[in-house]
Amino acid sequence: MNVLIEESWRERLQPEFDKAYFEQLVNFVHQEYRTQTVYPPGKLIFNSFNLCPYDAVKVVIIGQDPYHGAGQAHGLCFSVNDGVAFPPSLVNIFKEIKADIGNDAPPSGNLTRWAEQGVLLLNATLTVRAGQAGSHQKHGWEEFTDAVIRILAEQRERLVFILWGAYAQRKGAFIDRSKHLVLTSAHPSPLSAYNGFYGNKHFSTTNTYLKAHGKKEIVW
Virtual torsion, Cα 12, 10, 171, 63, nearest 10 deg: 150
65 is catalytic: yes
From the candidates 65, 82, 100, 146, give the one annotated as an active-site residue: 65
* Active site residue ranges: 65
